[in-house]
Amino acid sequence: MPQRDFSDTEIQDYLAGVDVVVLATVSPSGAPLAMPMWFVNDSELLAMVSIDGLAKVRNLEHDPRVGVVVGGGSRGDMHGLVLSGNVEFLTGQDRLGWGRRFHEKYQPDVDRLWGGSDIPDDRVVFAFRPRVVAVFGI
């Protein structure tokens, strides 16, 4: 798979049409955990939100290395991205800013899950900065 820069217009345009990615974390025992995740992005990172204390969050606290797969298509027309890199937890204004972007993208589902438009205190926001960006079919 060819390597690309995450900020490439084709990649950003592709992500604009995607609602769910698969996040893979590593547990302390070394076992992988893959989970579908909502996300928002800019040209440098993907941000994701989770309930604090879940297995994926504990895994990220232990080991910030992750993989993310974005894909779609059918048998003869597969397309997507395979990304790897590290995450960092966001706090303060960064956390709130990305929380607002989640609310904008996933409205009205976020209102239902969060009980309103504000990101709940029991949620963590983490930023994934891809170091490796492999592209197929786009």
pLDDT of residue 98: 93
Which string of DSSP letters, residue by residue, matches 15-49? Answer: HHT--EEEEEEE-TTS-EEEEEEE-EE-SS-EEEE
Q: The domain at 9-136 falls in which architecture?
A: Roll (2.30)
Q: Give CA–CA dist 73/54, Å, rounded.
A: 31
Q: Give CA–CA dist 5/96, Å, rounded.
A: 27
Query: Which has the closest alpha carbon to 45: 135, 126, 137, 136?
Result: 126
> Domain extents for the chain?
9-136
What is the pTM for the complete model shown? 0.92
Residues of the chain short of pLDDT 50, as ranges, are: none
Tokens at residue 111, please? Answer: 């209102």
**Tally of CB atoms within 10 A around 34:** 13
